[in-house]
Amino acid sequence: MSSLTGKNKAALLSLVAIGVAITFYAVPIAVFAQDGSSGQTWHDKHFEGHHYDKDSRSYKDNSGREYKCETKHGDFYYYFYNSEFYRCDDYNPANSTPSAPY
């Protein structure tokens, strides 16, 4: 049996990290994409404990975790938190840079 070298271990760990990152960000989007709004909860305002950060165009909780305004539903953008969608009520795409929204 051969053992993994340092380079191989680093490459394997990188692949695992990429897989975890893709799963973390893709699962909420994939759930939404399956059937639009079927079975989803949509709130008309942001979660009470979250604060809008205009530089990142996202909401943040008290620990600094970021929730991107990346899901469009009707005329508004929402972010995914705790298995539900919350409206980005402070987010105005007309005031964003040309590359926004996501």
Per-residue model confidence (pLDDT) at position 93: 78
pLDDT of residue 34: 45
Q: How far does CA 59 lie from the centroid of its chain? A: 10
pLDDT value, residue 102 = 45
- Angular region, 36: left φ>0, alpha ψ -120 to 50, beta rest: left
The pLDDT value recorded for residue 78 is 96
pLDDT by residue for the chain (102 residues), tens only, comes to: 456 677 777 777 777 667 656 655 555 555 555 445 568 999 999 999 999 998 888 999 999 999 999 999 999 999 999 999 999 999 887 765 544 454
